């Protein structure tokens, strides 16, 4: 018997089949998308771990290569600091030092000395803040601030009375 199908039946079959195929396609598409995302995350994690290991190895190599240089630099800086402290303490004893030892008071920080030249003499007393430097050393930012305050006249006298 020959199957007689109406136009509506054929259209319903085509629409039903298309819908079924579309649902199957979407299902497998979503499934493959989830699988691809999972594989992407796994690969990303592998790469991150690999990069971390490589970085740790590179850092270890760098430390080994430069450790001796770093130690030598630290020792040199320590020597310079120590020689600076010695120079700071010996400077008042040098011939070209322009202040009387009796007029000096050691502060240490942030300025090395304060000198009261002509103190108790007929000439007017002059007050100097002295910072001793040796080699290539420079004034610190705090010392520069103090120097600027003196140049701009922001230096004051204050008497504090305790009752």
Put simply, whether the predicted model's pTM sits higher than 0.75 gets the answer: no
150-163 pLDDT, tens digit each: 999 999 999 999 98
* Domain locations in the chain as residue ranges: 9-97, 98-151
81-130 pLDDT, tens digit each: 888 788 777 888 887 888 888 888 988 889 989 999 887 788 888 999 99
Task: Please give the torsion angle defined by the CA atoms of residues 126, 132, 138 and 144, in that order, rounded to the nearest 10 degrees.
Answer: -30
Backbone angles phi and psi of 23, in degrees to 5: -65, -45
State the residue for tokens 């910072």. 131
11-31 pLDDT, tens digit each: 888 999 999 999 999 999 999
């Amino acid at each position: 018997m020959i199957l007689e199908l109406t136009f509506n039946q054929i259209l319903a079959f085509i629409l039903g089949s298309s819908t079924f195929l579309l649902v199957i396609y979407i299902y497998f598409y979503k499934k493959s998308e989830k699988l691809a995302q999972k594989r992407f995350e796994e690969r990303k994690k592998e790469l991150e771990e690999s990069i971390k290991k490589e970085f740790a190895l590179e850092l270890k190599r760098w430390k080994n290569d430069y450790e001796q240089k770093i130690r030598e630099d630290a020792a040199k800086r320590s020597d310079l600091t120590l020689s600076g402290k010695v120079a700071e303490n010996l400077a008042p004893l040098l011939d070209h030092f322009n202040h009387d030892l009796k007029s000096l008071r050691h502060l240490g920080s942030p300025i090395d000395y304060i000198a009261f030249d002509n103190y108790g003499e007929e000439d007017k007393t002059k007050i100097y803040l002295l910072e001793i430097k040796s080699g290539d050393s420079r004034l610190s930012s705090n010392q520069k601030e103090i120097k600027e305050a003196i140049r701009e006249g922001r230096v004051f006298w204050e008497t504090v009375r305790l009752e």
